[in-house]
Structure 1
Amino acid sequence: MASSNPPSPPPGLVALGNCNAATARGPAAVLRSLGTAPSRPPLDVELPAVPEALQGLRRTVRRYLDAPCTDVQLCVTELVTNVIRHVGEATPVRVRVALTDGNRIRVEVMDPAGQALPVPLSGALDAEDGRGLALLDAVALRWGVEQGVDGKTVWCELGIRRT
């Protein structure tokens, strides 16, 4: 004879749909304490890549992080400047800054030129350019490029400095 009652979840687990606000607070607090829940949504800005936009973009990043963030501002500036120089001024870009679940800040700059990949250069001592990716490499924990159907994303991750 088959039972009409659904099986109950094993002890210690909450069945999907049987979770109320009080039940959810415990696991949510644990996840926050482990640093696995971002504390705010990411900053997402779409703009044309022009030199005049860089100062406002740095200011927006600083307001979003609500803390000194010169390394993050440097990375954003260098990545957008690379788009201006190597893809073209006024290219539409999307800049995303997010607090991740490992006490890191992730910066992403997306542009439509999937074929124009960043290449680190060794700038001459008196050169006025060619150091952007070297600076990125120096301040970021890691960085890379993701190619997609609609372009590419150059990203980097930085540690969060606690003061």
Structure 2
Amino acid sequence: MSRKPWELAFTAEPVEVAALRRIMRLHLGIWGLQDITDEAQLCVSELVSNVITHVGLGTPATLAVSVRGTHLRIEVHDPDTRALPVLRDPSTDSSEGRGMALVDAVADRWGVLLRPDRKVTWCELATKLTAPDGHVEAPSVMRAEALLSLYAAAMPMPCRTGAGRVTSAVAEETVIAAITDFLHWLQAHGRDADDTLDRAQMRFEAECDALCEGA
């Protein structure tokens, strides 16, 4: 899976926080990293709120997101190199620095980079990836890969590769071929193929929602 770095310019306003959280959730869904959605959204909220509180409303800023190794990296860029994030004990009476304490609690690591024209506050979250371009090894995904490897081995070239493994170049076509054959099987056994597809879609969406809620 290709997970290309992306960035988005925004203005430091409270209304932008919810929008940035939604965008983060969308991208993590596309990247197959739904299990860290809550942590990533919290980090976005706190890093952006830090700019609003300590740099100022209306500050032009940028959210940049990438995968570094097997970690998700979240950066917020702003033009003030003097207002540095403060980490305080959340048990103290002062509310200042509590946002970064939350980031510190959920992130594997965080820090600040000072550039000539800007400050970059960043944090990294651990994922379940085994490689930057790999996928989270959820049981459902592993079962599907095992089935597709067997299915591809039974298909004629060029839908086969060495050792019967499915490559990214043919994986999607292999999935389509497998689903088509299952639809033929359902029809041959007097089952409603459309009803089965609808039920499968509903189950898939329910499992995705449960994963996001339980993350």
TM-score by length of 2: 0.54
2:99 to 112, 124, 132: 132
- The equivalent position to 2:49 in structure 1, one of 81, 95, 104, is 81
Counterpart in 2 of 1:42?
Answer: 5
1:93 aligned partner, one-letter code:
A
Superimposed CA distance per residue, residues 110-161 of structure 1 (whole angstroms, 9 cap, x where no aligned partner): 0000111111123456665641111111111110000001110000000114
- With structure 1 as the length reference, what TM-score do the two structures score? 0.71
Q: Do the aligned partners of 2:114 and 2:120 also contact (CA within 8 Å) in 1? A: yes
Whether the 8 Å contact between 2:12 and 2:57 is mirrored in structure 1 is yes
Q: Which runs of 5+ in 1 are unaligned?
A: 1-37
Which structure has the highest helix share of the two? 2
Percent identity over the alignment is: 45
Matches within 5 A, 1:1-163: 39-66=2-29, 67-68=34-35, 69-100=37-68, 102-124=69-91, 130-161=97-128, 162=136, 163=138
Matched to 2:67, the amino acid is L
Within 1, Cα distance between the matches of 2:74 and 2:38? 13
Residue 99 of structure 2 aligns to which amino acid in structure 1?
A: G
The question of whether the paired residues in 2 share the 8 Å contact of 1:43 and 1:64 is answered with no
Aligned-CA RMSD value: 1.8
CA distance in 2, matches of 1:128, 1:147: 25
1:56 Cα offset (Å): 0.8
